[in-house]
Amino acid sequence: MRRTLWLLGLAVMICALSGQARPLVTVFDIGAGVRPVGLGEAFAGLADDEYALFYNPAGLATLSGGRASILYQSHFGASTYLSAFGSFGNFGGGLIFFDFGQVPCLTAQNRPCEDSEGKTISSFGYSSFALTAGWGTMMRSLPFVGSFFPERLALGLRIKFVSITSFDPVQFQVLTITGIALDPSFLWELGAFGPVKGVRVGLVLEHLLGLAFGASEGENFPIGARVGVSARVLDVVTLSTDFSLYDGFHLGAEYTLTKLGPLDKLSIRAGLLTRTGLGLSVGLGIVFRVLQIDYAFLFHPDFAGSHWLSAAFRF
């Protein structure tokens, strides 16, 4: 437990030293994975499927076999969101694409925008593309230093490449920003405490090393930390909670039944998150042999709710 508090203190200290740089908004600020969304994105302390790569890559150390999932969304015929994640053994990879679509560009006088050369800009948009890869291992398996760490403490590393195309409303010009970042993370399986089993504690140091090219002065990947805890109660209910310095509090619950008729597994989920106000989510998942189908509905505080649907394969 002392080591856990030490890691948490290290994360807070790093954030305090990160300065007041403006955060760079990317597709990593949008949740990924239908199951995690159904759990209110409280996944850093759970991280038990291929979306561990997105929420806590140290969870890759606890996976076996191969997994792959894909998600596609289109909202109002304009914005498009696509993600694909997979893992094999202790390695994972993924891609995310988001395109907001085109918006007419008009000045305060309701006239078409013009760039610095006097050319008319009829519309503008925002899109972001990311590639990510990660790896996880039990720290006891590390050469030379492994014996200094407790059992079931995992280390994860994730590298992210991000490309952003946006619009500068002051200079009336298209901006292209690219960046790369490295995120270390930890996941500690503490075992059982009475009727509470499978207790896990996770810590992700977000953008510990990050470089952005083409961004405005003072704008960069925000250095932050995400802490999560999960546990299994009565072998049928999984509870998880996360806290992030940048997107607030997350809470999730999953009730799972196995061998239900032709289904290998049926899961019912609910979640709460506070990224942009109080948001709620509900979800459902079924597993039939190698196929897993997940659905979630996310209630936004200021906009219409969104439907999430994905298919995943286990091999």
List pLDDT tens digits, range 187-243. Answer: 999 988 888 999 999 999 988 887 777 766 566 777 889 999 999 998 889 999 999
pLDDT value at position 121? 66
b or e along 217-249 (b: 16 or more beta carbons within 10 Å of the residue's beta carbon)? eeebbbbbbbbbbbbbeeeeebbbbbbbbebee
Residue (of 177, 167, 185, 184) closest to 211 by Cα position: 177
Q: Is 144 helix (H, G, I), strand (E, B) or coil?
A: coil
Quick check: is 66 in a domain?
yes
b or e along 253-287 (b: 16 or more beta carbons within 10 Å of the residue's beta carbon)? bbebeeeeeeeeebbebbbbbbbeeebbbbbbbbb
Is the pLDDT confidence value at 76 over 60? no
pLDDT value at position 232? 94
φ, ψ of residue 239 in degrees (nearest 5): -115, 140
Quick check: is 188 in a domain?
yes
Q: Tokens for 151, please give them.
A: 């059992």
Quick check: is 200 in a domain?
yes
Q: Which of 46-50, 126-130, 258-262 has the highest mean pLDDT?
A: 46-50
pTM of the complete model = 0.83
Quick check: is 54 in a domain?
yes
Quick check: is 22 in a domain?
yes
Asked if residues 252 and 40 have their Cβ atoms less than 8 Å apart, the reply is yes
Quick check: is 307 in a domain?
no
Triad 270, 194, 61: Cα angle to 5°:
65
> Pairing state of beta strands 123-138 and 153-168?
antiparallel
pLDDT value at position 305? 74
What single DSSP character describes residue 277?
A: B
Is the pLDDT confidence value at 89 over 70? yes
Quick check: is 199 in a domain?
yes
Domain that holds residue 151: 2-231
**Which H or E run contains 14?**
helix 2-16
pLDDT value at position 106? 63
Asked if residues 294 and 284 have their Cβ atoms less than 8 Å apart, the reply is yes
Quick check: is 282 in a domain?
no
Lowest-confidence region among 11-15, 272-276, 297-301: 11-15
Mean pLDDT of all residues in 27-50: 90
How far apart CA 45 and CA 56 sit, in angstroms, is 8
Mean pLDDT of all residues in 262-282: 90
**More confident position, 76 or 26:** 26
Number of independent structural domains in the chain: 1
Is the pLDDT confidence value at 51 over 80? yes
How far apart CA 97 and CA 79 sit, in angstroms, is 11
- In this prediction, what percent of the chain has a pLDDT beyond 90? 46
